[in-house]
Structure 1
């Protein structure tokens, strides 16, 4: 989701993966699975979030106006304590939520989302991998504090240039990619969909999401594979082909490189 969401209104049977949680000193760190959700709550503590996937739905954050939202992948977000939150999405997306539960104020009183910060991206990816594959070397308190520092960094978002990857264009890309995930999708085809040159598209996409179009395509393949691992009994080779990987081995390599676990390990975990 675009802002912090406990997803306590979603039946467990609809979750593609369980919520993974770590308590470390004053910090609670959660990895929320990519799934449909609907929630309304008042934030009891200030919280930092990070959207791994693009997401869309409706929300009202500290307001009585319910508006459509689009969360860009790799977007950093913040919700202050006491903020009234309503948020819902038909598909959702994988989301990291970091809360300081001892009552210490983290930032200011203004929520934000969709902030692209390279250091925050690196930290969030490391934390996700650790939540999926625990290790004795995990340093949760240091990671959580570092992510909070990135959220506290004052940053004025520039006005998007003409031809940038807007929310509407992100929705078009997601629909295009998901419809053709089994086949071969090229950067040229994605740029053509938005009527942009390939070079301009690649630069605009990196600016908007912090990742390349090719990297994003792999992430979409992995997201679909993870959902199928939990929600179906299909074999790994079949899942690989459905998701556009050239082979089961290719899929396994992508899992290990990006998530730190194999598809078989993720399927076996509760």
Structure 2
């Protein structure tokens, strides 16, 4: 996974946003932007990761077998110390990485990804917002510790729902959403695409990603807007229109609710 590499080798094109990093006590917390990458390493410290968006590529985690991976949105991941990791993705995805640097081993002995944990989602969103705002006075150590507690192997994990949103369906859904972001998209259309009833689709989607289809749709709109903001000549009003927001003000509200920062302020931090 992207966030698991202590040194990520970024290939062209350059990341749309800078890496944001905070060191607090024994913790390093980093927000890595969506970008193409390829890396291989042996983990010198246990690492916690959190995927804010879908990611796809190839990896080999603690094994010589390289195989395709699909990271689901809001998926928690963990790589224990000493684990051999190879990972690459043509697009990557925004990712949070949390490391403990004082040599203490985090709970958990097995690598995993795609674990949906409601508390981890809340924590990751708070950490991302604080990193995007450039905050220096938040509870970084407390957040790092709280997120580390979510990787305990003994946590109960729900069994997948029959007909839930598996990797193949998630890819199809992402392609459908991305192709129609400049217009209205409804939950019924998403459910129809996958051949599910609206009610069942909403339950299965929440089980798979930890969020509602509507919230995920807004997140995709915000992600596209962040990518378009890389062009310094693009007007925010035009970006809002191209991403399906009703107005620039609507887009700004979505940014503040999702990430705690306005599009204008976020754009100021772009290289």
Partner of 1:86: 86
SS at match of 1:169: helix
Query: Does the 8 Å contact 1:48/1:99 carry over to 2?
Result: yes
Mapped pair 1:194 → 2:194 = yes
Query: Does the 8 Å contact 1:61/1:84 carry over to 2?
Result: yes
Cα distance in 2 for residues equivalent to 1:6 and 1:227: 24
Q: Can you list the C-alpha shifts for 1:82-103, whole angstroms capped at 9, x where unaligned?
A: 1111111111111000000111
Partner of 1:145: 145
SS at match of 2:98: strand
Cα distance in 2 for residues equivalent to 1:7 and 1:164: 35
C-alpha displacement at 1:108, in angstroms? 2.8
Query: Does the 8 Å contact 1:3/1:113 carry over to 2?
Result: no
Query: Does the 8 Å contact 2:3/2:95 carry over to 1?
Result: no
Query: Does the 8 Å contact 1:7/1:37 carry over to 2?
Result: no
SS at match of 2:185: coil
Cα distance in 2 for residues equivalent to 1:8 and 1:56: 16
Cα distance in 2 for residues equivalent to 1:125 and 1:86: 27
Cα distance in 2 for residues equivalent to 1:7 and 1:73: 23
SS at match of 1:103: coil
Partner of 1:52: 52
Partner of 1:169: 169
C-alpha displacement at 1:25, in angstroms? 0.5
- Segment of structure 1 superposing worse, 92-101 or 34-43: 34-43
Partner of 1:259: 259
Q: Can you list the C-alpha shifts for 1:153-206, whole angstroms capped at 9, x where unaligned?
A: 622434323211101111000000001110111100000000000000000000
What are structure 1's unaligned runs of at least 5 residues? none
C-alpha displacement at 1:121, in angstroms? 0.6
Cα distance in 1 for residues equivalent to 2:101 and 2:59: 24
Query: Does the 8 Å contact 1:78/1:113 carry over to 2?
Result: yes
Cα distance in 1 for residues equivalent to 2:12 and 2:133: 22
What are structure 2's unaligned runs of at least 5 residues? none
Partner of 2:248: 248
Q: Can you list the C-alpha shifts for 1:21-67, whole angstroms capped at 9, x where unaligned?
A: 00000100000001111111111100111111011111100111111
C-alpha displacement at 1:231, in angstroms? 3.9
- Segment of structure 1 superposing worse, 149-158 or 220-229: 149-158
Q: 1:221 to 1:52 in 2, by over 3 A?
A: same
Query: Does the 8 Å contact 2:3/2:32 carry over to 1?
Result: no
Stretches (4+) displaced over 4 A:
none
Correspondences of 1:1-270 after superposition (within 5 Å): 1=1, 4-6=4-6, 8-11=8-11, 14-135=14-135, 137-152=137-152, 154-270=154-270
Q: 1:31 to 1:10 in 2, by over 3 A?
A: same
Cα distance in 2 for residues equivalent to 1:71 and 1:7: 20
RMSD of aligned alpha carbons: 1.5
Query: Does the 8 Å contact 1:182/1:242 carry over to 2?
Result: yes
Give TM-score, length-normalised by structure 1.
0.96
Q: How many residues align?
A: 270
